[in-house]
Structure 1
Amino acid sequence: MANQVEPGLIPALFDELQSERFVTLATVDHETQGPNVSAISWIFAKDEQTLLFAVDQRSRIVENIKGNPLVVVNLIANESTYSIGGKASIHQEKLSGVPLKLTLLQLVINEVRDVMFYGSKISTEPVYEKTYDKTAADRLDRQVIEAMKKA
C-alpha cells in the first residue's frame, strides 16, 4: 500500500535491519549543498526509532552529516520501497572492536514512508556479493555488526 507514513520502523522493517543489507543513504553534500547518495551495507536497527550505520572515517558521508544532519535511508524490503528520514549524528568517532577505522553514525527516525508507486510491488529485492576474499569479508561483516549491536 503506497504512501503510508509511520513514526518509526514497522516490525517487518525492524526485522530486516537486524543484519547487514543493501540500502542507499541520501545526505546533503557539505561542499555543493546538493544531494548526495551513497550505497552502504553496515546498518542495524537498534530499536524502532534508531538506526546505526558504520562507514569509513574518511567517507564523504561523515562530513556531510556534520554539515547537515538531515538524511534519508532508502530500503527495499517487505515488497516495497521505504524512505526512512530523520537526523543523523556521530555516535562513535571510531567504532571499537573492528580492525578498520570506521565511524559509527546514529539516525534518529522521525518518519518512515512507503514510497512505492501505486499499484505495484517489489518482486525481487537487490542482492549483492562481496568481490574480495569471502572468508575475510564474512569475518569483517560479523565483527562490524557485533560492534554495532554493543554500541
Structure 2
Amino acid sequence: MANVVEPVLTQGLLAALQEERIVTVATIDFEKGTPNVSAISWVYAMNEGTVRFAVDQRSRIVQNLRANEAITLTVMAEESVYSIGGKAAIPTDRLEGIPLKLALVEVTIEEVRDVMFYGSKVSVEPKYEKTYDARAAAKLDQQVLTAIQAY
C-alpha cells in the first residue's frame, strides 16, 4: 500500500530494524551536492523515533553528514519498501571497544513513507552473506551492535 506516511517507525519496522538487514543510506554529497547512496548493515532502531548505525569514520557518509544533516534510510521489510527521513548527528567519531575505527550516526526520524509501487508487495527480502571468516564476522557484528546500543 503506497503513500502511507508516519511520523515514527511502526512496531513492525521497529522490530525489523532490530535485526540484521541491508539498509541503504542516502545523503547529500558534500562536494557535488548530489545524492550519495551507500549500503550498510550495522543498524539498530533504538526506539520508534531514533535509529543508530555505525560506519567507518572515513566514510563518505560521515563526510556528507558533517556538511548536511539530511538523511534518508531505505529498508525492505513488512512486505514493502520504506523511506525513513530525518536529521543525522554524529555523537562520536570512535565507538569504544571495537577493533575498527567506526563512527556512530544517530538519526532522529521525521517521517516514514511506504514507497512501494502501487499494487505490489515484497515477496522475498534481500539476503546477503559475509565473505570473510564467519566466526570473526559474528563476533564483530555483536561487538558493534552492543556498542551502538550502549552509547
Write out aligned runs for 1:79-98 (5 A). Answer: 79-98=79-98
The reply on whether 1:126 has 2:126 as its aligned counterpart is: yes
Partner Cα distance (1:89, 1:40) in 2: 17
Partner Cα distance (1:131, 1:107) in 2: 28
Q: 1:104 aligns to what? A: 104
Any conservation in 2 of the 1:19–1:44 contact (CA below 8 Å)? yes
How many residues in Structure 1 have an aligned counterpart in Structure 2? 151
What RMSD in Å do the two structures reach over aligned CA positions?
0.6
| Residues 10-55 of structure 1, C-alpha deviations (whole Å, 9 max, x = no match) | 0000001113210100000011110100000000001100000000
Q: 1:35 aligns to what? A: 35
% identity of equivalent residues: 58
Q: 1:8 aligns to what? A: 8
Task: State the AA in 2 paired with 1:24.
Answer: T
Q: 1:116 aligns to what? A: 116
Partner Cα distance (1:20, 1:117) in 2: 25
* Structure 1 residue 7, shift from structure 2 partner: 0.3
Partner Cα distance (1:61, 1:69) in 2: 10
* Structure 1 residue 116, shift from structure 2 partner: 0.4
Partner Cα distance (2:85, 2:96) in 1: 26
Partner Cα distance (1:53, 1:29) in 2: 19
Any conservation in 2 of the 1:20–1:141 contact (CA below 8 Å)? no
Q: 1:143 aligns to what? A: 143
- Aligned to 1:125, the other structure's residue is in SS state coil
| Residues 46-86 of structure 1, C-alpha deviations (whole Å, 9 max, x = no match) | 11000000000110100100111101000000000000000
* Structure 1 residue 87, shift from structure 2 partner: 0.3
Partner Cα distance (1:97, 1:13) in 2: 28
Partner Cα distance (1:78, 1:104) in 2: 26
4+ runs of 1 displaced by more than 4 Å?
A: none
Q: 1:73 aligns to what? A: 73
Query: When the two structures are superposed, what TM-score results if normalisation uses the length of structure 2?
Result: 0.98
